Structure 1
Amino acid sequence: MRAQIFPSRNIIIINRKKMQHQMKDHKDTIKMERSDSMKLKEKKVKDLMMNKKRLVEVPYTASLAQTMNTLVANNVVAVPVAAPPGQWIGAGGSMIVEADKQTGAVRKHYIGMVTMLDIVAHIAGDDHLNGGDDATEDLDQRMSVPVSSIIGHSFEGLSLWTLNPNTSVLDCMEVLSKGVHRVMVPTESQIENISVGVELVETSSSYQMLTQMDLLRFLKDRDNELQNTLHSHSVQDLGAITERIYAITDKTKLIDGIKCLKAAMLNALPIVRASDLSQDDHVQHVNGRCRKLIGTLSATDLRGCYINTLKSWLGISALAFTEQIATSPLYTKSDTQNDISAPKRELVTCYAESTLYEVIDKAVTKHVHRIWVVDQQGLLVGVVSLTDVIRVIRQSLLSDSDA
């Protein structure tokens, strides 16, 4: 009978030790991830404000044309509106005031936020504005009204938000994951210890603005603390993709594209190739899913041109407008476009299989607030917004705490 050969005791001990080391390494990795996660959760809003500039604002008496010029000059897409104290009710019932640091006397009251989408909605109007001579005259009238008269035309203008500097990053993420794009942060808040993140009453000698993009830059710089969430999961797996997509076609005129932005209450719409079957309505938005993506019309594009320039472009196609604005000196000096000779703006896209880090890197590098999700043929299948990204990162941090 053949003798049976058994592994030696030494081999068994070695294999057992190897397994123990592997388990220890796995536990150490989990501990490190939790430790890194805790480090991030210990951060405060004030940690995000280190290099922020003083607030850009406009007085309530400024015309829309003056407000738009302020947006262009400062390369921003939204400004708070300031008014004398005691004469206005703040948006959403908020009471956010600036007071003298020494005496405490109130100097101004912030009554609302005006964004490019508010201005776009006002330009679009409710009538039959078109791209002809009447549009030019009508646009002059529309842009001469005081900025205080259009507060609240978009969701963001309906309320003003502030975050205390001592608010945790996690609470900050909760606010910015619910469609709030920007909040005001007092440089010297009178409230030191807080139980909630959002304040409707605030007094400070000065403020700064914190945006979703600021938060994304902060998180991107700490990708080692979010290693598992950012690098190991796709945007599809994390549920960060919205599949319902409003779009316009390459035959849609700019003025109709502006109206579509207003109707959908969106800051940006994808431009898709018109159907050969002539079934598209080029004056309204269409279902963009499974259509060829060829461009993007964004409310922030209007930041790249002064009002006189915009007048002459109302009648051209939205696609042609985006190509012309890409070479505007006002546009190319911003960090959204660096190559002044480029005939077209780059489409910022990702795949459903792209990691969350890849999407964040594109959003921050290209300074866009939406990443279009396409398939291998370049057909539009979804969109990932900054709101989606912040939401899934926060969910991941919370689940790490529960693990």
Structure 2
Amino acid sequence: MQTTAKLEDFLKDSTVADLKSKTEIIPIAATDSVADAMKELAKRKILSMPVLDKKKSKYVGIISISDIVIATVFNPAFAKLAKGASAIDKLTREDFKKIIEKSVLNNPVCDLVGMTEEGKNLWAFDEKESLTKVSEYFAQGVHRALISHQKGNPSFISQTDLVRFISKKVKESKDKDVANFLNNSLEKLGYVRKGKKIISVSTTETALAGFRRLLQWQSFRDWNLAALPIVDKDGKVVGNLSESDLREMNAETRLLDLLFVTPLFLKTYCGEMRKPVVVSPETSFVDALDKLISESVHRVWIVDKDSKPIGVFSLSDVISQFTPFAWSHEKVMDGLFTTS
């Protein structure tokens, strides 16, 4: 990806306090059950929450719905009940329920802390910290960070908060070099993967199979894309499978719905399978940035004239242009696309 020294220095005079975001922190006790955590996440319509060790009065990590799904879909018991990973789609709802109740839901939350590198650590910054420093972490796949304030309780900031700030700041800039960069196409900036095929999930596969494929990318060191395109029999993008589709998931019924084919799983949650947000290779950086914000999504798929996926542009891509630390993204993007 193209990055200039001009953009790398763009946030050096801005601090976390400039984001003016104070998302309330809602912790869960390390000794609470995973089932309890799911109820809280669903009740509050959030994807993650910090884990608090009450005895030590300190946060020990983050628990997310993704951690719970990883613990479920990659459970060793699947190998026994499904007779191999290739038979994962043959699991019955009864088999699935037995697995999650016995080996996931009744366990304490602390058992799942560290399922992903991001969950293992709780990144914390002072509100006076430079946004350049924060960007280094967010550019490498960290989605949220805890912020301490001189007055009031700690709060969370997210990638979305930072990207919204970046969008406003670059549009206010009168620097010609910045303006020229914003008008570069996604293809020119290297986001189009020519001659390679993107890893995806088909409309005939179960959501369980899709999330297994998706969540194998959850290692922080290898980059957390957190989404896969859903493609039809012709390879055209018709949907998007992401972590946000797990919001409001509960242990009683919704977790079992992972056995539905992907379109049905999404329709069960949203009433319909939402159309994917797509752009073309010719779309400019600033137009793609605007679409991320206006559509309230974490990424847009870059498609060719036949609506087949040839690239992806995410919040992390935006942030990585404002920090030199983009190497992990480069690495995983090469792995996410295979030679055609």
TM exceeding 0.5:
yes
1:239 CA displacement = 3.0
Q: What's 1:271 paired with?
A: 230
Out of 214, 238, 259, the position equivalent to 2:212 is 259
8 Å contact from structure 1 (residues 241, 384) kept in 2: no
Q: What's 1:3 paired with?
A: none
Aligned equivalents of 1:39, 1:253: Cα separation in 2? 44
Q: What's 1:391 paired with?
A: 320
Root-mean-square deviation (CA, aligned residues, Å) is 2.7
Q: What's 1:68 paired with?
A: 38
Q: Map of 1:19-34 to 2, 5 A cutoff?
A: none
Change (3 A) 1:271 1:239: same
Q: What's 2:287 paired with?
A: 358
The amino acid across from 2:59 in the alignment is Y
Q: Which runs of 5+ in 2 are unaligned?
A: 1-5, 83-90, 219-224, 325-340
Q: Which runs of 5+ in 1 are unaligned?
A: 1-33, 87-107, 190-204, 276-290, 328-342, 396-403
Aligned equivalents of 1:383, 1:39: Cα separation in 2? 24
| SS at structure 1 position matched to 2:286 | helix
Aligned equivalents of 1:240, 1:46: Cα separation in 2? 31
8 Å contact from structure 1 (residues 230, 355) kept in 2: no
Q: What's 2:17 paired with?
A: 46
8 Å contact from structure 1 (residues 348, 372) kept in 2: yes
Q: Map of 1:311-350 to 2, 5 A cutoff?
A: 311-327=255-271, 343-350=272-279
8 Å contact from structure 2 (residues 9, 322) kept in 1: no
Change (3 A) 1:38 1:254: closer
8 Å contact from structure 1 (residues 165, 186) kept in 2: yes
8 Å contact from structure 2 (residues 93, 256) kept in 1: no
Change (3 A) 1:157 1:144: same
Give the aligned length: 295
Q: What's 2:250 paired with?
A: 306
| SS at structure 2 position matched to 1:314 | helix
Q: Map of 1:284-303 to 2, 5 A cutoff?
A: 291-303=235-247
Change (3 A) 1:63 1:229: farther
8 Å contact from structure 1 (residues 229, 393) kept in 2: no
Out of 114, 119, 124, the position equivalent to 2:68 is 119
Q: Describe the superposition over 1:318-371 as per-residue Cα deviations: whole angstroms up to 9, x where unpaired.
A: 1211122112xxxxxxxxxxxxxxx33121111122112222222223322221
1:39 CA displacement = 7.8
Q: What's 1:157 paired with?
A: 119
User: Once the two structures are aligned, what percentage of the paired residues are identical?
Assistant: 27
Q: Map of 1:373-392 to 2, 5 A cutoff?
A: 373-392=302-321
Q: What's 1:14 paired with?
A: none
Change (3 A) 1:39 1:249: closer
Aligned equivalents of 1:84, 1:229: Cα separation in 2? 52
8 Å contact from structure 1 (residues 182, 212) kept in 2: yes
RCO (CA 8 Å, sep 6+): is it higher in 1 or 2? Answer: 2
